[in-house]
Amino acid sequence: MKQIRIAPSILAWDLGNLREAAEIASKGGADQLHLDVIDGHFAPNITFGPGTVKALRKVSDLKFDTHLMVDQPAAYVEKFMDAGSDLLTFHAEVLDGKRFDQLSAAVKARGKEVGLAIKPGTELPKWALERMDTLSALIVMTVNPGFSGQRMDMSLMPKLEKISKAVEERGFDTDIEVDGGVEPENVADVVRNGGNVLVAGAGVYSKENPVSAIGVLRQRAQAARRDG
Ligand code: DX5
Ligand code: ZN
């Protein structure tokens, strides 16, 4: 069975003190740090770029899970890899099979991992399903991209289940990463529907004790598995 992994999203912390966000994630035992890059075109917000990732790389040993919500990933992928990103996730909405293959080859040439993300309203394209064996992670977004602190759209659970089953049936170990509104209250639903990597912005950083919030999410996820 795929490992449960917790990926705090620093977008929910004080953007003037991202070093602290990374420290909280490490102290809480997070598996990876989720970095939301938004370009103001793909989604209605502008967050940070490779310079910020590079600065964070100096102060954190965590795996950098870089979620590229940008219209032109090909123009930036090398810069994020230079900056220290480990997993580079692209959005299916701005790609097709051929463009994905080019990006994927560039990432793999550097020994890094490739992910693919879909917005709530996007079905997994056929070209993506055909390339599932090349993906380390598939991000199923459960809020519209742009901002932390939105409520998870629970009507997406059947879609999550369908995608997880499709991956499982093919025998791939691609991580199913659920991104948007993950909170202790909905972790059981997410896990039962096949999510194994839990991205959490507000679900970690808006809690009174963000360090222990990471452990709470992990415990809930593991309990949901035990209880079926
Ligand atoms: C939304 C981002 C998410 C978001 C998660 O555009 O991709 O990663 O920051 O934050 P929460 O968990 O607060 O929804
Ligand atoms: Zn994200």
This prediction's pTM? 0.98
pLDDT value of residue 217:
98
Look up 39 and say whether it is catalytic: no
- Which atom of ligand 1 is least distant from the CA of 200? 12
Look up 175 and say whether it is catalytic: no
Report the alpha-carbon distance of residue 104 to residue 160 in Å, rounded.
23
pLDDT at residue 227 above 90? no
Using DSSP's 3-state secondary structure scheme, residue 98 falls into: helix
**Do residues 48 and 37 make contact, with C-beta atoms less than 8 angstroms apart?**
yes
DSSP 4: P
Query: What would the pLDDT profile of 155-182 be if each residue is shown by its tens digit?
Result: 999 999 999 999 999 999 999 999 999 9
Q: Which ligand is nearest to the CA of 200?
A: 1
Instruction: State both tokens at 218.
Output: 């992990």
Q: How far is CA 158 from CA 15, 91, 117, 146, 185, in A?
A: 34, 21, 17, 23, 18
DSSP 132: G
Query: What would the pLDDT profile of 57-94 be if each residue is shown by its tens digit?
Result: 999 999 999 999 999 999 999 999 999 999 999 999 99
Q: What is the largest CA-CA distance in the chain?
A: 46
Residue tagged 């096949």 (tokens) = 194
What is the band of 1 on the pLDDT scale with cuts at 50, 70, 90? confident
Query: What would the pLDDT profile of 96-109 be if each residue is shown by its tens digit?
Result: 999 999 999 999 99
Q: Which ligand is nearest to the CA of 149?
A: 1
- Which atom of ligand 1 is least distant from the CA of 145? 6
- Between CA 182 and CA 128, with CA 119 as vertex, the angle to 5 degrees is 115
Give the 3-state secondary structure percentages of the chain, helix then strand then coil, rounded to 5.
45, 20, 35
- Which atom of ligand 1 is least distant from the CA of 183? 12
User: Residue 8: CB within 6 Å of ligand 1?
Assistant: no
Best probe residue, ligand 1, of 9, 35, 90 (max atoms within 8 Å of C-beta): 9
Q: Which ligand is nearest to the CA of 67?
A: 2
Distance of CA 5 to the CA centre of its chain: 11
Residue tagged 């659970």 (tokens) = 157
- Taking the centre of ligand 1 as the mean of its atom positions, its distance from the CA of residue 28, in whole angstroms, is 19
**Do residues 34 and 21 make contact, with C-beta atoms less than 8 angstroms apart?**
no
- Taking the centre of ligand 1 as the mean of its atom positions, its distance from the CA of residue 207, in whole angstroms, is 15
